[in-house]
Structure 1
Amino acid sequence: MISVDNLAVEFSGATLFSDVSFVINPNDKIALMGKNGAGKSTMMKIVAGVEKASKGQVSAPKDTVIAYLPQHLLTEDNCTVFEEASKAFQLVFEMKERMEALNKELETRTDYESQEYMNIIEKVTDLGEKFYALEDVNYDAEVEKALKGLGFRQEDMHRQTSEFSGGWRMRIELAKILLQKPDLILLDEPTNHIDIESVIWLEDFLVNKAQAVMVISHDRAFIDNITNRTIEVTMGRIYDYKANYSQYLELREDRRAHQLKAYQEQQKFIADTQEFIDRFKGTYSKTNQVSSRERMLEKLVPIEIDEVDTSALRLKFPPAPRSGEIAVTVTDVSKSYGDHVVFKDANMSIRRGEKVSFVGRNGEGKSTMLKSILKEIDIDAGVSELGHNIKVGYFAQNQASLMDPKLTIFQTIDEVAKGDIRKHINNILGQFMFGGDDVDKKVGVLSGGEKTRLAMVKLLLEPVNLLILDEPTNHLDLKSKDVLKEALKSFDGTLILVSHDRDFLQGLSEKVFEFKDQRVLEHFETIDEYLKRNRIEKLADINL
Structure 2
Amino acid sequence: MISINNLTFEIGARALYDEANWHIKPGEKAGLIGANGTGKTTLLKLIVGEMKPTSGTISMAKDLKIGYLNQDLLSYQSDKSILHVSMEAFERQNELHDQIEELLKKLETDYSDDILHKLSDKQAEFEALDGYNIEYRAAGILAGLGFNEEQQQRKLSQFSGGWRMRVMLARILLQAPDILLLDEPTNHLDLPSIQWLETYLQAFEGAVVIVSHDRYFLDRVINKTVESRKGKLNVYAGNYSFYQEEKSLREEIQGNQFKNQQAKIKQEEKLIERFRAKASKAKMVQSRIKALDRMDKVDAVDDDTPTVNFSFRFSKPSGRHVKTLKNISKSYPNVPILKDTEGIIEKGDKIALIGANGRGKSTLLRIIAGVDPDFEGTCESGHNVSQTFFAQHQLEALHLENEVLQELQAFAPKHTETELRTILGSFLFTGDDAFKKIKVLSGGEKSRVALAKALTADANFLLLDEPTNHLDIQSINILIQALKQYEGTFIVVSHDRYLLDNVANKIWYIEDQKIKQYPGTYQEYEDWQAGRKEAIKNTSKEPKIKKEKKEVKPEIKKVQGKSSSNLNKDLEHLEADIVEAENKIKDFELQLADPEIYNSTDKLAELTKLYQAAKNQLNDYKNRWEELADKILELEE
What is the DSSP-based 3-state SS (H/G/I as helix, E as strand, rest coil) of the residue aligned with 1:485? helix
Q: CA deviation at 1:262?
A: 3.2
Instruction: Describe how 1:43-442 pairs up with structure 2 within 5 A.
Output: 43-72=43-72, 73-97=74-98, 134=129, 138-267=133-262, 300-305=295-300, 307-314=302-309, 316-319=311-314, 321-419=316-414, 421=416, 424-442=419-437
> For residue 540 of structure 1, what is the aligned residue in structure 2?
none
- Measure, in 2, the Cα distance between the counterparts of 1:310 and 1:530: 30
Q: TM-score, normalised by structure 1?
A: 0.86
Q: CA deviation at 1:369?
A: 1.1
Report if the CA contact (8 A) 2:29-2:222 is conserved. Answer: yes
- Measure, in 2, the Cα distance between the counterparts of 1:332 and 1:343: 9
- Measure, in 1, the Cα distance between the counterparts of 2:488 and 2:415: 24
> For residue 26 of structure 1, what is the aligned residue in structure 2?
26
- Measure, in 2, the Cα distance between the counterparts of 1:277 and 1:420: 54
- Measure, in 1, the Cα distance between the counterparts of 2:67 and 2:19: 24
Q: CA deviation at 1:145?
A: 1.3
- Measure, in 1, the Cα distance between the counterparts of 2:53 and 2:301: 24
Segment of structure 1 superposing worse, 286-295 or 419-428: 286-295
Q: CA deviation at 1:223?
A: 0.5
Segment of structure 1 superposing worse, 237-246 or 198-207: 237-246
2:468 maps to 1:473: yes
Letter in 2 for 1:52: K
Q: CA deviation at 1:169?
A: 1.2
Q: Deviations over 1:261-313 (max 9, x none)?
A: 33445455656667787888899988877777676666554434563315434
- Measure, in 2, the Cα distance between the counterparts of 1:485 and 1:341: 34
Segment of structure 1 superposing worse, 9-18 or 483-492: 483-492
Cα 1:196/1:413, change in 2 over 3 Å: same
Report if the CA contact (8 A) 2:506-2:519 is conserved. Answer: yes
Report if the CA contact (8 A) 1:273-1:293 is conserved. Answer: yes
What is the DSSP-based 3-state SS (H/G/I as helix, E as strand, rest coil) of the residue aligned with 2:400? coil
Report if the CA contact (8 A) 1:315-1:483 is conserved. Answer: no
Letter in 2 for 1:92: Q
Report if the CA contact (8 A) 2:386-2:461 is conserved. Answer: yes
Q: Deviations over 1:173-196 (max 9, x none)?
A: 111111111111111211122111
Could you tell me the percent identity over the aligned residues?
38
Segment of structure 1 superposing worse, 184-193 or 451-460: 451-460
Report if the CA contact (8 A) 2:307-2:481 is conserved. Answer: no
Q: CA deviation at 1:473?
A: 1.6
What is the DSSP-based 3-state SS (H/G/I as helix, E as strand, rest coil) of the residue aligned with 2:16? strand
Report if the CA contact (8 A) 2:501-2:521 is conserved. Answer: yes
Greater relative CO (CA pairs within 8 A, separation 6+): 1
Cα 1:60/1:424, change in 2 over 3 Å: closer
- Measure, in 1, the Cα distance between the counterparts of 2:287 and 2:269: 12
Cα 1:335/1:242, change in 2 over 3 Å: same
Q: Deviations over 1:61-107 (max 9, x none)?
A: 23211111124432214322222212222343125545777999999
- Measure, in 1, the Cα distance between the counterparts of 2:202 and 2:531: 16
> For residue 41 of structure 1, what is the aligned residue in structure 2?
41
What is the DSSP-based 3-state SS (H/G/I as helix, E as strand, rest coil) of the residue aligned with 1:138? helix
Letter in 2 for 1:40: K
Q: TM-score, normalised by structure 2?
A: 0.74
Q: CA deviation at 1:328?
A: 1.3
2:2 maps to 1:2: yes
State which structure, 1 or 2, has the greater radius of gyration over its C-alpha atoms: 2
> For residue 542 of structure 1, what is the aligned residue in structure 2?
none
Segment of structure 1 superposing worse, 358-367 or 50-59: 50-59
Q: CA deviation at 1:224?
A: 0.7
Report if the CA contact (8 A) 2:126-2:132 is conserved. Answer: no
Q: CA deviation at 1:132?
A: 6.1
What is the DSSP-based 3-state SS (H/G/I as helix, E as strand, rest coil) of the residue aligned with 1:361? coil
What is the DSSP-based 3-state SS (H/G/I as helix, E as strand, rest coil) of the residue aligned with 2:75? coil
Q: CA deviation at 1:324?
A: 2.8
Letter in 1 for 2:166: R
Q: CA deviation at 1:410?
A: 2.1
Letter in 2 for 1:75: Y
Report if the CA contact (8 A) 2:480-2:502 is conserved. Answer: no
- Measure, in 1, the Cα distance between the counterparts of 2:313 and 2:496: 25
- Measure, in 2, the Cα distance between the counterparts of 1:161 and 1:320: 48
- Measure, in 2, the Cα distance between the counterparts of 1:467 and 1:210: 44
Cα 1:328/1:210, change in 2 over 3 Å: farther
Q: Deviations over 1:368-419 (max 9, x none)?
A: 1111222212334222222222111211133323212222112212222234
2:524 maps to 1:529: yes
Segment of structure 1 superposing worse, 382-391 or 302-311: 302-311
- Measure, in 2, the Cα distance between the counterparts of 1:482 and 1:423: 23
Segment of structure 1 superposing worse, 28-37 or 399-408: 399-408
Report if the CA contact (8 A) 1:187-1:216 is conserved. Answer: yes
- Measure, in 2, the Cα distance between the counterparts of 1:524 and 1:283: 77
What is the DSSP-based 3-state SS (H/G/I as helix, E as strand, rest coil) of the residue aligned with 1:430? helix
Unaligned runs of 5+ in 1: 538-544
What is the DSSP-based 3-state SS (H/G/I as helix, E as strand, rest coil) of the residue aligned with 1:531? helix
Q: CA deviation at 1:229?
A: 0.6
- Measure, in 2, the Cα distance between the counterparts of 1:104 and 1:283: 106
- Measure, in 2, the Cα distance between the counterparts of 1:465 and 1:521: 24
Letter in 1 for 2:88: K
Q: CA deviation at 1:316?
A: 3.1
- Measure, in 1, the Cα distance between the counterparts of 2:317 and 2:277: 78
Q: CA deviation at 1:479?
A: 3.0
Letter in 2 for 1:39: G
Letter in 1 for 2:350: K
Count of aligned pairs between the two proteins: 528
Q: CA deviation at 1:446?
A: 1.5
> For residue 451 of structure 2, what is the aligned residue in structure 1?
456
Cα 1:268/1:487, change in 2 over 3 Å: closer
Q: CA deviation at 1:201?
A: 0.6
- Measure, in 2, the Cα distance between the counterparts of 1:522 and 1:264: 52
Letter in 2 for 1:450: E
Q: How large is the Cα RMSD of the aligned pairs?
A: 3.5
Letter in 2 for 1:168: W
- Measure, in 1, the Cα distance between the counterparts of 2:151 and 2:499: 30
What is the DSSP-based 3-state SS (H/G/I as helix, E as strand, rest coil) of the residue aligned with 2:88? helix
> For residue 611 of structure 2, what is the aligned residue in structure 1?
none
Letter in 1 for 2:59: S
- Measure, in 1, the Cα distance between the counterparts of 2:270 and 2:384: 71
Q: Deviations over 1:327-368 (max 9, x none)?
A: 112222222222222222222122222222211111211111
Instruction: Point out the structure with the larger helix share.
Output: 2
- Measure, in 2, the Cα distance between the counterparts of 1:307 and 1:450: 23
- Measure, in 1, the Cα distance between the counterparts of 2:19 and 2:170: 34
- Measure, in 1, the Cα distance between the counterparts of 2:195 and 2:112: 58
What is the DSSP-based 3-state SS (H/G/I as helix, E as strand, rest coil) of the residue aligned with 1:398? helix
- Measure, in 2, the Cα distance between the counterparts of 1:429 and 1:46: 32
Report if the CA contact (8 A) 2:201-2:221 is conserved. Answer: yes
